[in-house]
Amino acid sequence: MCEFLHIFNVNDGSRTQVKTYVVIDHENGFSILYENMLNMVEMVQSLKYCIFKEVKIDENYGLQKIQPIKVLQKITKICHQKIKTINYYCERQTEHFLRILETYVSAQKLIFNSYYAESIVQEPKNFIIPMSQKEILMELDVMPRTNNLLKYISRGEFFGGDRVTIHIFWDKVDEEFNEKILEIFKSTKKPHNFIKRVKFSPTAPFCSSKIDPTKPRPFAFRERTREFLQQQLLPCFTEKDEHANPKEIFEYKRSDGFTMKVKIHFDVTFSFERPDNLLIFRF
């Protein structure tokens, strides 16, 4: 298992001198200029045997001398196959986005940064991801408009929504979110359109080194969610983590077998589960 492959550009301070670097954590790990990499064919060929934990391609082109997409194209040509990775980090959707996924990179999970993820939630019809991608994680450090988020979670506009997890790092969640998401899940005629899960976490403080990872941080939304679900008299069971902190799991199960589970731990996670015998055909 190799750690990462990053391809990016560096401007030396002028508007004309831009150099493309390839950073590879492969055995000892090193950073080389793209031009020099072309003379290291055996090293590049060895990448065909790697499964990277992370691949990231700089797609901010600007006045660059060499586009990173060309570097990736050259690597795959020498290897005679796609680069294999667990995670592919997406900075933004460019004209090359689909070509990277279809031609150059085989990824198990796509991870979208905050700006990109927020754009997807607001305008999901503008973003199409190949069905070959089995897992999609969108990380946001800002809270989308609640109505946009609820629509995205429940309406399946992103085809194959059961692949999608949204993780939001934000302290102030709309007080009506819990009531609205439960009502939508209860009343929808298309529960199979729901995404896989949405997770809310408190914003990390500036002095993260002072955080005790074994104890939950203050998070008002966590307390409001617990109180609301208790008022709904939903079934709940509790288990302990390795530090004896309680994990509460509330469950609402529809008559058709679709289930919403809410896990309250350090974070608050809403999961939307399908019946085991449900078959979904995708074309």
Residue 19 has pLDDT above 80, yes or no: no
Average pLDDT in the 97-117 region? 82
- On average, the pLDDT of the chain sits at 80
pLDDT in tens, 126-174: 677 777 778 889 888 888 889 999 999 998 655 678 889 999 988 888 8
In a domain, 281, yes or no: no
Q: Name which residue leads in pLDDT, 28 or 120.
A: 120
Distances (CA, A) of 145 to 1, 27, 117, 177, 180: 39, 45, 13, 11, 13
In a domain, 225, yes or no: no
In a domain, 73, yes or no: yes
Q: What is the pLDDT of residue 94?
A: 57
Q: 256: left (phi > 0), else alpha (psi -120 to 50), else beta?
A: alpha
Q: What is the pLDDT of residue 13?
A: 54
Q: What is the pLDDT of residue 102?
A: 83
In a domain, 23, yes or no: yes
In a domain, 221, yes or no: no
In a domain, 148, yes or no: no
In a domain, 255, yes or no: no
pTM, whole model, 2 decimals? 0.81
Q: How many domains does the chain fold into?
A: 1
In a domain, 191, yes or no: no
Q: Considering the chain, what percentage of its residues have pLDDT values greater than 70?
A: 75
pLDDT in tens, 197-211: 999 998 765 445 556
User: 83 lies in which domain range?
Assistant: 1-104
> Which sign does the torsion angle of CA 188, 190, 192, 195 carry?
negative
